[in-house]
Amino acid sequence: MKVLANDGMSNAGIDKFKTAGIEVITENVPQEQLAQYINENKIDALTVRSATKVRKDLIDACPALKVIGRAGVGMDNIDVAYARSIGRTVVNTPAASSISVAELAMGHMLSVARMLCDSNNQMPLEGESNFAGLKKKYAKGKELQGKTLGVIGFGRIGQALAKKAIGMGMKVMFYDPFITTAVTITMDFFDGQKVSFSIEPSTLEQVYKNADFISLHVPSQEKPLIDAQAIAKMKDGVIIINAARGGVVDELALLQGIESGKVAGAGLDVFATEPTPNVHILMNEKTSLSPHIGASTTDAQDKIGIEIAENIIAALSK
Bridge-partner residues for 196, per DSSP? 186
pLDDT in tens, 86-108: 999 999 998 899 999 999 999 99
**Could you give the residue numbers annotated as active site?**
245, 274, 292
Alpha helices in the chain (DSSP H): 11-19, 34-40, 56-61, 80-85, 98-113, 116-126, 131-137, 156-167, 204-210, 228-232, 251-260, 279-283, 298-316
Question: CA nearest 251: which of 235, 272, 236?
Answer: 272
How high is the pLDDT of residue 170? Answer: 98
pLDDT in tens, 131-189: 999 999 999 999 999 999 999 999 999 999 999 999 999 999 999 999 999 999 999 99
What is the value of pTM for the model shown?
0.88
Q: Is 110 in a helix, a strand, or coil?
A: helix
Q: What is the mean pLDDT of the chain?
A: 96
Q: How far apart are CA 17 and CA 281, in angstroms?
A: 42
Residue 245 has pLDDT above 90, yes or no: yes
Q: How far apart are CA 44 and CA 69, in angstroms?
A: 11
Q: Amino acid identity of 113?
A: A
- Tell me the CA distances in angstroms from 118 to 74, 107, 125, 141, 266, one per residue in order: 31, 14, 11, 12, 12
Close Cβ partners of 171 (under 8 Å, ≥ 6 residues apart)? 146, 147, 148, 149
How high is the pLDDT of residue 50? Answer: 84
Q: How many CB atoms lie within 10 A of CB 222?
A: 6
Q: How far apart are the first and last CA of the chain?
A: 13
Question: CA nearest 112: which of 212, 248, 256, 229?
Answer: 212
Q: What average pLDDT score do residues 48-62 get? A: 95
Q: How far apart are CA 253 and CA 230, in angstroms?
A: 10
Q: How far apart are CA 55 and CA 82, in angstroms?
A: 9
Q: How confident is residue 270, by pLDDT bands cut at 50, 70 and 90?
A: very high
Q: How far apart are CA 97 and CA 310, in angstroms?
A: 15
Q: How confident is residue 244, by pLDDT bands cut at 50, 70 and 90?
A: very high
pLDDT in tens, 197-226: 999 999 999 999 999 999 999 988 999 999
List domains and CATH numbers for the chain.
2-94+298-316 (3.40.50.720), 98-289 (3.40.50.720)
Q: How confident is residue 44, by pLDDT bands cut at 50, 70 and 90?
A: very high
Q: How far apart are CA 228 and CA 205, in angstroms?
A: 14
How high is the pLDDT of residue 76? Answer: 87
Q: How far apart are CA 121 and CA 196, in angstroms?
A: 40
Residue 72 has pLDDT above 90, yes or no: no
Q: What average pLDDT score do residues 44-66 get? A: 96
Percent of the chain with pLDDT over 90: 94
* 186 touches 159 (CB < 8 A): no
Cis amide prior to 275 (ω within 30 degrees): yes
Q: How confident is residue 54, by pLDDT bands cut at 50, 70 and 90?
A: very high
Question: SS3 helix, strand, coil % of the chain, rounded to 5?
Answer: 40, 20, 40
